[in-house]
Amino acid sequence: METRNKEKYLSCKWLESGVCFDNGVYGSNVKVCCYLSAPGGGNTMIFKDYHGEKINWDEFFKIKREYRDIQKAGGIVSGCQGCIFLEENYWDNDDYVDSVIFDHFTRCNCNCSYCYTDEDKKMYNKLKTYNVYPIVEDMLKRGILKTGGAIGFGGGEPTILPEFEKLISLLLKKGFTNIRVPSSGIKYSKIIEKGISTGQLTVVVSIDSSSRETYKAIKKIDAYNKVTKNIIKYAKAQQFGSYNVTSKYIIIPKVNDTQEELENWLYFNKKNNIELLVLDIENSWLSKYREDKPDEKILDLMRYVETKAKEMEFFRFELCDRAKYLL
C-alpha cells in the first residue's frame, strides 16, 4: 500500500478516504460518497454493477488515486463540482478508508409518506441486496479500514439487515466511535443499545409526531407506542451526561404542523432524556414552496419550535439544511 506525504489541496474526506456501498433502482454500485446534491451530481463511481463480490483493493485505491490526482492538479472531479464539502486542507494521501456509508438496501419495516420508497414500496422491499459483513471483515484484516472517520447507513431500515447485529458488534469491538444509525425504531436492537451504552453509536429516529393518530397518518403503520417505548429504552442506555439518541421531526404541512403536536414532541424528549433534536421540513413540500409564495405559518412554527427548544435547554437542537434554507 502506498504512503505519501501530506499535501495541501482542495478535496473532501469522502474523496480521500470514504466509500459508499449503494443500491437502488438505478443500479448497485460502489461509490466515493452518497451525496447527490452537489451541482456536479455526485455519483462518483469506484465500481459499477457491484453485488458484494470480493474487492480488488489495489484496483480500488488506483481509482481513488486517480480522483485524488485530479484534485491535486487543481481540477475538480466532475461529480464533485460545486460541492459544499470541498475544502482546502492538508490531506495525508495514504491509501485507507475511514468513512463508510452502507446504503446497499432499500427494505424497510415502516412506510413514511415522505420516503423515496413510497413511490413503489413493494418493489423497494423486494430489491435484491448483498451482505457487507465479509467486505468489512476483509478490510479490517488487511488494515484498510481505520477508525477516526464516520460510519453511517442509508436505506431502508438497517436493523432488519441479516448482518446488522454482527456488523455493528465487529465495529464496536474494533473501536469505531462515530457510528450513526438512522432507524424507524420499530424493531428494538440490542446491539444499538450496546453501542449507545459505550458512547460509540448514535441512533436517529424520526418520530415526526407526538400522538398515535398523527404517527399512523404519516407512517401508515400503528407503531407509535412501540417506537416511543423503544426510543425511551435506548435513552435509558445512555451513559450519564452523554447523549446518543437523536429524535427527529419532519414537518409535513397540513399533517403534523400544529404547535401542540410539536410542543408535545419537545416535552416527550425532555421527559425521557432525549437531548439531541433535529427539525426538518418535508422535501416535496419545499420543492413546491420554492415556486410559490412563502407560507408564513410554517416559518413561524419553525421559529417557535427553535425558540422553545432553546428555552427548554436541550443539549443540541439542529435545523436540517432544508429548514435552514426556509428560515
169 binds ligand SF4 (CB under 6 A): no
| Minimum CB–partner distance for residue 263 and ligand SF4 (Å) | 23
Among 110, 204, 207, 255, binds ligand SF4 (CB under 6 A): 110
Residue type, 229: K
117 binds ligand SF4 (CB under 6 A): yes
Name the residue nearer to ligand SF4 (CB basis): 37 or 147: 37
156 binds ligand SF4 (CB under 6 A): yes
| Minimum CB–partner distance for residue 304 and ligand SF4 (Å) | 25
How many amino acids of this chain bind ligand SF4 (CB under 6 A)? 24
Contact 199, 242 (CB under 8 A): yes
Among 23, 28, 42, 149, binds ligand SF4 (CB under 6 A): 42
Name the residue nearer to ligand SF4 (CB basis): 43 or 269: 43
Using CB atoms within 10 Å of the CB of residue 180, give its burial: 0 to 12 exposed, 13 to 18 middle, 19+ buried. middle
85 binds ligand SF4 (CB under 6 A): yes
15 binds ligand SF4 (CB under 6 A): yes
Q: Which long-range contacts (CB under 8 A, 24 or more apart) does 170-175 make?
A: 170/133, 170/136, 170/137, 170/140, 171/136, 171/200, 172/198, 172/200, 172/201, 174/140, 174/147, 175/147
Name the residue nearer to ligand SF4 (CB basis): 57 or 114: 114
Q: Which long-range contacts (CB under 8 A, 24 or more apart) does 224-230 make?
A: 226/185, 226/186, 227/184, 227/185, 227/186, 228/268, 230/185, 230/186, 230/187, 230/188, 230/205
* Residue linked to cell 432488519: 160
Among 29, 44, 71, 269, binds ligand SF4 (CB under 6 A): 44
Angle in degrees, CA 94, 100, 131, rounded to 5: 120
102 binds ligand SF4 (CB under 6 A): no
List of residues contacting ligand SF4 (CB under 6 A): 12, 14-15, 32-33, 35, 38, 42, 44, 79-80, 83, 85-86, 108, 110-112, 115, 117, 155-157, 184
